Structure 1
């Protein structure tokens, strides 16, 4: 049981350090008197800069792979073809019911006009 409480203590300590770092960052970013101390108006954070650079050059470094191609097909072609197949079969089923007399003429909604 002692190992479990030590683990919880480590997690709490990391959370406290993370909260202190966030608080200091917010304090520096929102300080209205920074421009007077000749520090400039921008707080440079290397992690934020790497993230923004990654987002700006995402497509410059993209290399198509079979996996990315399959994901593209799955996200684009499969829904379109599936919806087309569903529309075709529902139309055929409705027409078959109309032709065999399962749907009376007065009860038809004419939704496939």
Structure 2
């Protein structure tokens, strides 16, 4: 029997959990930089809700990416104090933090994870 190329459920679950936790780290850092941080568990919840919103809206033809991005910023605005500009700044800072963390992990040979809940990371 040839080896299977589909990761085991345990591996996929671990990747999902690590990706959500990394997304939470990035959003928490973004909130520390641009908003009032409410704690890491709150950031993980924001990452999870943001990932669901993104997954639901991004496939919409023609405007899905823009619609998903606006909705994701709306989730950040809903979860953290401040207006649209502060939520956007939190998102940009979260994206930058995610890129740095993922690049550092890649340097140490840890690949295959993402920052779930942070668009573009």
Please give the TM-score of this superposition, normalised by the length of structure 2.
0.27
Larger Rg: 1
Please give the TM-score of this superposition, normalised by the length of structure 1.
0.29
